[in-house]
Amino acid sequence: MEQHKKIFIIIGVMLVFCLKAEGLLNYTVEFKGVDSTELDTALKASSQLLNLSEHSATSLGVLKRRSEADVTNFVKVMHWLAYYNASISYKFENENGSIKVIFTVNPGPVYPLANFKIVEATSTSSESEPKENCSLYRFDFASFPLEEIGITLGTPAYGEVILHAEETLLHLLAQKGYPHAAIKKRNVIADQKEKDISVSLTVESGVRAWFGKTVIKGNTSVRKAYFRKKIAWKEGEIFNLDVIKDTQEALETSGLFNSMLITKGQSDPKTGELPMEIQVNESKHRSIVGGVSYTTARGVGAVAEWDHRNVRGMGERVNVHATVWAKTQDGRVSYVLPDFRKKNQDLIYLAEVEHEITEGYTETSFSASAIIENKINKRLNVSYGGMYKWISIRRSENNGVFNLLKIPLQVRWSTANSILDPTSGYSLNLKTSPTMQIRVPAYFYCPTTLTGIIYIPFSEERRFVLAAKTVVGTIFGSSRHEIPPSERFYSGSENTLRGYKYLTVSPLDHDNKPTGGRSIMVFSFEGRMRLSETIGFVGFYEIGNVYKSSLPEFNHKQLQSAGLGFRYHTPIGPIRFDVAFPLTRRNKHQHSKDIKAGKKPKKFDSLFEAYISIGQAF
């Protein structure tokens, strides 16, 4: 320190001749001895000198105070990164009328965790407390596995690891019935001889709590019986923080409330009973929405929807949906009974009517179904049910009326973080629908598809995401000719094999009409770049085909497409505009007279297709 004082005095004399007229000191900061990028970043982030560099120091005294404050901050940063024997010094140097503050850092070794103990604080129970109530106050910390709170002895004693262990410990205690647990004391001891760290946490577990009575406030049209179905705890059960979170999530995702708060009262010190309160503010349960979309193949489309999310006070939902394109009209009505027979299981009644004109057929259809959808957990959904479907087909090689009985089954596993704009996770979706024609002649077929999607972010901000999708499908059972044309596989749309005309990726007959296939295999890749909160761009490539055979043919000619897209991100999902180019444009089949005349075949596919809609392609 004497040496520092001498340097300080010398620099002070020199600066008398260097100061600007207004008396402000400009300075720069330099670090020496720092080899770790992580350490360098942490030191600079905590430096007052750097954070206040836009404000020049008014005197050497101010500059020295900032430097000494930095030394204190740097020691804390070094301890946080497990450097418990670090030394830091600083000095001033004059450099062309400016002052350079040089910090010399000697980090020393990273100290490992040698010991980690959890001890119980002195019990708050009184001397007269009956012995049978002692369990209300004590938790067996001695047998608590350190792995459960993320502690592994012998690894670096990072401050982040220790704090995370504290948070995890309190969360685990709240799961086990101790909502009032608290860390009373933390001792972190550095053994400079052994060069390791010992940590001791003193924890007061508090009273072990049981769920008491639950009071519901603020509901007007939603019946209290609905809340009882959604509440994940029962009166008298041991308190568990996770079931409170599950209940909160179930109520929030219902769409019935603008806001919702679950609070716990004071637990009874003798019984541990903990009263609960649910305070809600109901939202409007009816809504009307509308929208438009556009593709070059289908023209302008419009969609309208009316929704009632609380028909009888128990969260029953009625939805009326209509979509109109120039050649496609679709309408459906659904009625959903939530928590049918058990929690997280819905019964869905659905009626749908559709009229569609495609290149390959004209279809008019009606269907009625009853589906049970079971949310096994946050990632796994299973649905099954029964369906009757009436189909009338014209303009195809298999015209007629079909009466079908179906058993639709679906299993979906998803870790994706969003429905309309996912940036991480993956999903697998298996759909199958055993189908029987009940009119004579009766026959059976079973369409099955497996869709896999993955989203790979390339930064923590998720500004660039690589998305990939695979669709594989087959129809086994009856011959392709017996299967109604609209029940076969087609591709070419705003979501699969963009760039090809709507539902024309299929085997073609001699009149260039799509006839549909018995199998499908398509791979899609999309790079998504988000430049700001609202603006984004994508580039995509897709390859695949639809095949006559019941299994995809790898040696068959594969159709390819590529394109670019623009995204405008909104709270309800991104508005997308895609332009796709078919890279494998198909020729139209020629009649013999055209071949003899030497005419060149015309292209079946357009130069490009454009799409405007809401939501990502997948």
Burial of 598 by CB count in 10 Å (0-12 exposed, 13-18 middle, 19+ buried)?
exposed
Q: Which amino acid is at 319?
A: N
Residue 7 has pLDDT above 50, yes or no: no
Residue 47 has pLDDT above 50, yes or no: yes
pLDDT of residue 12: 41
Q: What is the pTM of this model?
A: 0.75
The model's pLDDT over 118-136, given as tens digits with 9 standing for 90+, comes to 988 864 444 344 333 334 4
- Interatomic CA distance for residues 144 and 133, integer angstroms: 22
**Residue 252 has which token pair?**
């929030």
- Interatomic CA distance for residues 589 and 391, integer angstroms: 29
The model's pLDDT over 428-476, given as tens digits with 9 standing for 90+, comes to 999 999 999 998 889 999 999 999 999 999 988 889 999 999 999 999 9
pLDDT of residue 590: 64
Three-class DSSP category at 373: strand
SS (H, E, C) 391-413: EEEECCCCCEEEEEEECCEEEEE
CA 135 to chain CA mean position, Å: 40
Three-class DSSP category at 206: coil
For the chain, give the percent of residues with pLDDT over 70: 91
- Mean pLDDT in the chain? 88
- Interatomic CA distance for residues 32 and 103, integer angstroms: 6
Torsion of the alpha carbons at 35, 39, 42 and 45, rounded to the nearest 10: -10
433 secondary structure, DSSP code: -
Residue 137 near residue 53 (C-beta atoms within 8 A): no
pLDDT of residue 93: 86
Reported confidence tier of residue 571, pLDDT bands at 50, 70, 90 = confident
Lowest mean pLDDT among 19-33, 35-49, 268-282, 343-357: 19-33
- Cα angle 266, 268, 270; round to 5: 155
Closest-CA residue to 474 (of 465, 483, 462): 483
The model's pLDDT over 186-236, given as tens digits with 9 standing for 90+, comes to 999 999 999 999 999 999 888 889 999 999 999 999 999 999 999 999 999
Show the domains of the chain with their CATH numbers: 27-106 (3.10.20), 112-122+136-204 (3.10.20.310), 210-282 (3.10.20.310), 286-614 (2.40.160.50)
156 secondary structure, DSSP code: B
Mean pLDDT of 420-426: 92
Reported confidence tier of residue 140, pLDDT bands at 50, 70, 90 = low
